[in-house]
Amino acid sequence: MSVDSNGINSRTHALNAAIHPPTVKVERPNGDNAPVSDFFGCNTFGLAQMREKLPKDAYHSLLKTLDHGKKLPKETAEAIASAVKEWSVAKGVTHFCHWFQPMTGLTAEKHDAFITIQSSHHSELRVIERFTGSQLIQGEPDASSFPSGGTRSTFEARGYTTWDPSSPLFIIEDESGKTLCIPTVFFGYHGQALDCKTPLLRSVEVLNTNACEFLKLIGDVDVKHVAATLGAEQEYFLIDKNFVALRPDLIMTGRSLLGSSSPRGQQLEDHYFGSIPTRVKNYMQEVEYELFKLGIPAKTRHNEVAPGQYELAPIFEDVNIAADHNTLSMEVLKRVALKHNFVCLLHEKPFAGINGSGKHNNWSLSNDKGENLLEPGTTPHQNLRFLAVLSVVVKAVYDNSAILRAAIAAPGNDHRLGANEAPPAIISVFLGSMLEKICNDIEEGKSAKATEQQIIDLGVGKIPNISKDYTDRNRTSPFAFTGNKFEFRAVGSSAIVSIPMTYLNAAVAYTFQHAATVLKDIMKTKPNRDEAIMEMTRMFLKESKTVRFDGNGYSQEWRDEAARRGLPILKSTADALEVYRDKKLTAFLSETRVLSTEEVMSRYHISVERYVKTIDIEIMTLLEMTQTLVIPAVEKQLTALATTQSTMSSSTLKKHHMSRSQKLETTFEAILSLHDELTRLSDTTANIHDESARMKKLAAEVQPLSVRLREACDQAERLVADELWPLPKYREMLFATSLC
Ligand code: ADP
Ligand code: MG
């Protein structure tokens, strides 16, 4: 560890800097007293701005495109491009980019300048601002460096980006300037999806079609549109930048691969909803301003369970917009953090022994009247619809639970799922005691001849009152009903939400179609429509009953019970990803045309590759940290112990002292031998060419061995003198912020 001329080591420097952070002045957009409505969305160009700025016919032509999925006419594109250019240039924007979500789990941008050099007939060069309709609509970034999972051969490495007009354009501003971002989809030469947005848009469309057909059948004859809504609550950690700079693991992998737990973690539960340190509040304020300017409706902010952990919750929006907004929020959280001398960690498990971070995906369905289909209503019909839709969703989750598990599989989430802090890796549905009772009654045929009156008798009519003060919560459930929406709680904090949302939408869309077929069949013999709907609801609830679970999802009893019920138990990413290879399980994706079989397989290959690369990086970082940081520190301590020993004359003292040395020597031996063993094992694993076999070996052998090496190193941390330990400790990283 480096020591300065005053004998102060770099870790102490980092600590001093962290408790005396520089003050960052956060300026409210539009001045101190400006109301939020003054600047909300000021950096976006969406429908509202188009209505204002576009010629009438261009605006109507755009609406037609949006409503009927028609191709945007060239003149309209030109008119929009021109309005967009004028607006952007007036705001000081110099560049534009097609913003897309490749399958790498990040976003990508390809920047172009607005300016074009023109030479006039006197050969004098002129700079003009130029932005055309075709630049707005289509781009052709070099796709060869983005993963395609084998869906594209090199000779057709071209990829195309196309504007998604349903998502607003936005301006990203930072120290380096302002860029107009155009949200786009990204696809290959044959139209195959190379990103996360294309399948999401397809799933939204098929869900709309199938849900409308079903709703018409149950009596909502005038329904025009059904949309999925999403509110994604985002958890994150804030760690002072000075500490991160000294931690190769946080820099390389986003999580601490070493580190002994501090005596105080979260057991006092004093962080949750506790007061937010001023420094953090200041940061959150700036994050909120940035999000507001981007038209992102950030709503709540509070501390989370673990020290150093916080949450951002937006108000829900259409799933496509919400997904873009979540991705953007993650970028804003990270960018603003650096300005405040923090690093924002979005990893699912940055610190062992305390809670990790998730991203609760609150999901529901709404129709064009703005009614929430998962909200028990005020009329018997609305309640009947509520129960029918509920049964469709529960059955969709039951039928496709393995895919939903695969959708949230990621190496980071493996540290969190089922670790007594997050839902288990078994997908189950929690409905709450009241609704559970109603469902049980329906199954038992207590409403066999349900008429509207009987539904009321059954208590269903009273659901609205119950849902209002719905306090029945089950934090251990991965998919919980929370009064008027489902909360998919097993999604990891670093996830791209489009992925789980695509599978959920597709599963529900597929089940709506099935429900319509079943209902038509029942209606042949049961002319009373309400009775037929109840019959279908009963069938679906019965068929999916085993996915419903009200108890403690963290318990061993549930794992045993789930196994008895035959629910898929896919403990790790390595198990879960294999689901993609099961044609029967993924058939609903190709049948709904959300993903072709080829596209599903490309996602499998990319996920496996990402898993392997992530673990490889973690192992290499761990080995290097052990070699270059831990081992030298232990050696220094051993030398110091030996020196002291040689100066001792009392034999009792020597004996006690010897036992200290021996303890450290034993730990040192473990570190050295485990380091060698892990090096050998990771070398042999690297030579396995079959990607699936390699992933499985990493999960089954390499990972567990790395945990043993970590334990030995953490033991050393507890034995080595504080001043010799080079890595910022958990107590410093997690609690320093509360000292200032
Ligand atoms: P709670 O804290 O009780 O779960 P909140 O009102 O705080 O409820 O909502 C949590 C998240 O769920 C928020 O992001 C919110 O916008 C979102 N949400 C609420 N209603 C819906 C809905 N109909 N569809 C999708 N998300 C919703
Ligand atoms: Mg929540």
The string of pLDDT tens digits covering residues 635-650 is 999 999 999 999 988 8
Contact 528, 389 (CB under 8 A): no
Judged against a pLDDT cut of 80, whether residue 121 lies above it is answered with: no
Using 50, 70 and 90 to split pLDDT, how confident is the model at 137?
Answer: confident
> What confidence tens digit (pLDDT) does each residue in 30-88 have?
888 899 999 999 999 998 889 999 999 999 998 888 877 677 888 888 999 999 999 99
pTM score: 0.93
569 and 422 within one domain: yes
The C-alpha atoms of residue 97 and residue 484 are separated, in whole angstroms, by 38
Q: Whose CA is nearest to atom 17 of ligand 1?
A: 231
Nearest Cα neighbor of 423 from 553, 569, 234, 232 is 553
Same domain, 527 and 495: yes
430 with 475, same domain: the answer is yes
CA distance 439 to 387: 9
Residues 201 and 189 in one domain: no
The pLDDT confidence band at residue 448, using thresholds 50, 70 and 90, is: very low
**Looking at ligand 1, which residue's alpha carbon is closest to its atom 19?**
316
pLDDT at 461 over 60: no
Average the pLDDT over 666-676 and give the result: 98
Q: Which atom of ligand 1 is nearest to the CA of 483?
A: 3
Distance from the CA of 171 to the center of ligand 1, in angstroms? 27
CA of 486 to the centre of ligand 1 (A): 9
pLDDT confidence of residue 127: 66
CA distances from 650 to 11, 27, 329, 643, 665 (A): 35, 66, 64, 15, 22
DSSP state of 60: H
**Ligand 1 pocket, CB under 6 A:** 229-231, 233, 313-316, 362-364, 372, 482, 484-485
In angstroms, what CA-CA distances link 418 with 90, 411, 415?
Answer: 52, 14, 8
Classify residue 723: in a domain, yes or no.
Answer: yes
Atom of ligand 1 nearest to the CA of 233: 14
* DSSP string for residues in 412-425: HHHTTBTSSSB--S
Q: What confidence score (pLDDT) does residue 273 get?
A: 56
Q: To the nearest whole number, what is the mean pLDDT of the chain?
A: 89
Best residue among 372, 485, 505 to mutate for probing ligand 1's pocket (most ligand atoms within 8 Å of CB) is 485
The whole-number pLDDT of residue 109 equals: 74
| Position 156 pLDDT exceeds 80 | no
Show the domain range for 167: 40-193
Of 161, 193, 225, the last residue of a domain is 193
**Residue that finishes a domain, picked among 176, 193, 210:** 193
Kindly state whether residue 110 falls inside one of the protein's structural domains. Answer: yes
For residue 171, is it within any domain?
yes
Decide if 163 is inside a domain. Answer: yes
pLDDT bucket at 464, cuts 50 / 70 / 90? very low
Residue 217 Cα to ligand 1 midpoint, Å, equals: 29
The pLDDT of 566-584, averaged and rounded, is 94
Residue 469 has pLDDT above 60, yes or no: no
Residues 309/345, Cβ–Cβ less than 8 Å: no
Phi, psi of 95 (to 5 degrees): -130, 160
Q: Is the pLDDT of residue 420 over 80?
A: no
What's the mean pLDDT in 421-427? 80
Residue 182 lies in a domain: yes
* Same domain assignment for residues 643 and 513: no
Do 577 and 693 lie in one domain? The reply is: no
- Per-residue pLDDT for 462 more than 60? no
Look at residue 490 in the predicted model and tell me its pLDDT: 92
550, 689: one domain: no
The pLDDT, as a whole number, for residue 468 is 36
Distance from residue 313's CA to the centre of ligand 2 (Å): 9
Whether residue 554 lies inside any domain: the answer is yes
The closest ligand to the CA of 231 turns out to be 1
Q: Are 214 and 220 in contact (CB under 8 A)?
A: no
Residue 657: exposed, middle, or buried by beta-carbon count in 10 A (0-12, 13-18, 19+)?
Answer: middle
Same domain, yes or no: 178 and 215? no
Least confident range from 146-160, 227-241, 318-332: namely 146-160
- Nearest residue (CA) to ligand 1, atom 6: 315
Amino acid at 227: A
Q: How many domains, the chain?
A: 3
Q: Among 594, 628, 658, where does a domain finish?
A: 594
Judged against a pLDDT cut of 60, whether residue 456 lies above it is answered with: no
CA 487 to ligand 2 center in whole angstroms: 7
588/442 same-domain check:
yes
Question: How far apart are the CA of 233 and the centre of ligand 1, in A?
Answer: 9
Whether the pLDDT of residue 334 is over 90: the answer is yes
Atom of ligand 1 nearest to the CA of 484: 23
Beta strands in 449-607 (DSSP E): 479-481, 486-488
Out of 133-137, 375-379, 597-601, give the one with best mean pLDDT.
597-601
**Ligand lying closest to the C-alpha of residue 504:** 1
Quick one: pLDDT at residue 135? 83
Write down the pLDDT at residue 414.
Answer: 93
Q: Which is higher by pLDDT, 383 or 429?
A: 429
Q: Domain with 702 in it: what CATH number? A: 1.20.120.1560
Residue 278 lies in a domain: no
Looking at the structure, tell me whether residues 101 and 228 fall in a common domain.
no
Is residue 174 over pLDDT 50?
Answer: yes
Distance (Å) of CA 658 to CA 277, 385, 497, 547: 45, 75, 55, 58
In-domain check, residue 228 = yes
Judged against a pLDDT cut of 80, whether residue 271 lies above it is answered with no
Q: Does 456 or 232 have the greater pLDDT score?
A: 232
In SS3 terms, 568-611 reads as CCCCCHHHHHHHHHCHHHHHHHHHCCCCCHHHHHHHHHHHHHHH
Residues 520, 649 within the same domain: no
508-529 pLDDT, tens digit per residue, is 999 999 999 999 999 999 888 9
| Same-domain status, 175 and 221 | no
Residue 144: which CATH number?
3.10.20.70
